[in-house]
Structure 1
Amino acid sequence: MSPSKENYLKNIFELQQSFQKVTNKKLAEMMHVSAPSVTEMLVALAQANYITHTPYNHITLTASGLATAEKLVKKHRLWEVFLVNKLHYQINNVHQAADALEHSTDDDLTERLNNYLHHPQKCPHGSIIPGNGQGETDADDWVLSDVAVQQQVQIVRILDNREFLDNFADLGLELNQIITVIQHSPFDDSVLIRTADHHEISVSSKSADFIFVEPVSAAKVK
């Protein structure tokens, strides 16, 4: 399979796991490619039985597509762990290097890398590494844009998208940070949050859809 097809499968997987409706438009935005390029690739992936693509512009991985995507995502996230933990890459700069490495990584190297890293459960962006999750899934996470006002939550996962990750860093936010939702703007759907050190930050609607949180327990607050 070509690296281009692999990248499409990974992005479809990422969007599906992040509760996003997968559409041509969403893929074009995520991958910074033209709409005609997306359409052409989706036709090829559907013909190879990796995806189903309905007339209503909804894209879903088939069983074969999901199995292939999980293997690709596992390689990618393992390399991200290695690059961040061992070579000290920043999380907003690691994607491209991991992407290049994964395409030349066979199953034997994947297993050796996984063993070397002691089977990490999550990648540096907080996503479960397929096969290493120990029963845990990303399905319990909430999208920040859906969190109620005055709800205190912890940022546990962010979408692996370079443009968003740069924005996330510019906002001064971090994984595992505890925040409180202060307001949902009726004008542009942005979310106003307050950090534990009382800084207020406005998060755009698009970015809020890429940030995943969990409710803060009493134990965490203490």
Structure 2
Amino acid sequence: MNNLTPKKEDYLKIIFELGGKQRKVSNKQISLSLNVAAGSVTEMVTKLVSEGLVIHTPYAGISLTADGIEVAENLIRRHRLWETFLVDKLNYKLQDVHDDAEVLEHATSDNLVKHLDDFLGHPKNCPHGGMIPSIDGDYAEESYDLLADAETGSTKVVDRFVDNHELLTYLGEIKLNIGDKFTVVEHVPFEGPIKVKLVDTGKEVSISYNAAHYIFVN
């Protein structure tokens, strides 16, 4: 696929991250995750449909085709290996890593990716919890259960975050981390925050309604 621009690649990656391999993702989710206008999403999705990379079902949402999944997996592998390198080896803060990983990913040959993977010891997950496909395309399926949908009283573990700068900055501020175990205390009505209690410390944390749609839990 040589007609893939970096922008198209970003859309394929975010649709994959939001679960578009297995289910329908809404225009609104894509627009919020990429910080772009809803009209731009519609326009880009139309292009990706015409290229056979996504399927758009009116009123249901957007999912990836087999070709779209293959392209997205390859992009995700490159991006997340660079994120791992930048955080683990160059001490980047998690919320600052995305833009540089993005630039590096587009300029990386297959040979360089292989050497990077070897150098890092074949990591299975990136710093924000996303899986990294192996060179053969193998990976464990990710959780697509959203914190927003977790029932009051249930106990969950933070599995991963969508790779979005504002979200990661916000989560750094409220100190919510991958692997944190918590009990859902309350869903405040009218799109209010979700209150959770961390199991280890007993601390209560309020998580905004929007952010809860980009935090995946087990």
Amino acid of the structure 1 residue aligned with 2:212: A
Partners of 1:149 and 1:180 in 2: CA distance: 8
The amino acid of 1:98's aligned partner reads: A
2:95 is aligned, of 62, 79, 92, to 92
How far the C-alpha of 1:63 sits from its partner, in A, is: 0.6
Of the three residues 199, 213, 217, the one matched with 2:217 is 213
Is residue 2:111 matched to residue 1:111?
Answer: no
Amino acid at match of 1:168: L
CA contact (8 A) 2:6 2:106 kept: yes
Pairwise CA distance, 1:19: 7.7
Cα 1:176–1:18 change in 2 (3 A) is farther
* Residue pair 1:17, 1:138 contacting (<8 A) in 2 also: no
In the alignment, the residues of structure 1 paired with residue 190 and residue 36 of structure 2 have an alpha-carbon distance, to the nearest angstrom, of: 29
Residue 25, structure 1, aligned to residue 28, structure 2: yes
Query: Which of 182, 196, 201 is the equivalent residue of 2:205?
Result: 201
Which one is further off, 8-17 or 83-92? 8-17
Q: Does the 8 Å CA contact 1:24/1:57 hold for their aligned counterparts? A: no
Mark the CA change 1:135 to 1:172 in structure 2 (over 3 Å): closer, same or farther: closer
Q: Quote the offset at 1:8 in angstroms.
A: 1.1
Deviation readout 1:95-121 (Å, 9 max, x if unpaired): 111111101112111111111111100
Structure 2 gaps of 5+ residues are none
Deviation at 1:65, TM superposition (A): 0.7
Q: Which runs of 4+ in 1 moved over 6 A?
A: none
Q: Is the 8 A contact 2:20 2:64 kept in 1?
A: no
Residues 146 and 38 from structure 1, CA distance in 2 versus in 1: closer, same or farther, beyond 3 angstroms?
closer
Between the aligned partners of 1:60 and 1:135, the Cα distance in structure 2 is: 19
Give me the whole-angstrom Cα distance separating, in 2, the residues matched to 1:50 and 1:142: 24
Letter in 2 for 1:204: S
TM-score by length of 2: 0.88
For structure 1, the residue ranges without an aligned partner over 5 or more in a row are 215-222
User: Take 1:16 and 1:100, find their aligned partners in 2: how far apart are those partners?
Assistant: 24
1:169 aligns with 172
Within 5 Å, which residues of 2 pair with 1:31-70? 31-56=34-59, 58-70=61-73
Query: What amino acid does structure 2 have at the position aligned with 1:136?
Result: A
1:84–1:94 contact (8 Å) kept in structure 2: yes
Give the partner amino acid of 2:210.
Answer: K
| 1:218 corresponds to | none
In the alignment, is the contact (CA less than 8 A) between 2:21 and 2:69 conserved in 1? no
Q: Give RMSD over aligned pairs.
A: 2.2
Q: Go from structure 1 to structure 2 and tell me whether the alpha carbon gap of 1:151 and 1:124 turns closer, same or farther (over 3 Å shift).
A: same
C-alpha displacement of 1:127: 1.1
Q: Cα distance, 1:123 vs. partner? A: 0.5
What SS does the corresponding residue of 2:18 show, helix, strand or coil? helix
User: Does residue 83 of structure 2 align to residue 80 of structure 1?
Assistant: yes
Helix, strand or coil at the partner of 1:193: strand
Match of 1:16 in 2: 19
Measured after TM superposition, the shift of residue 135 of structure 1 is 5.5
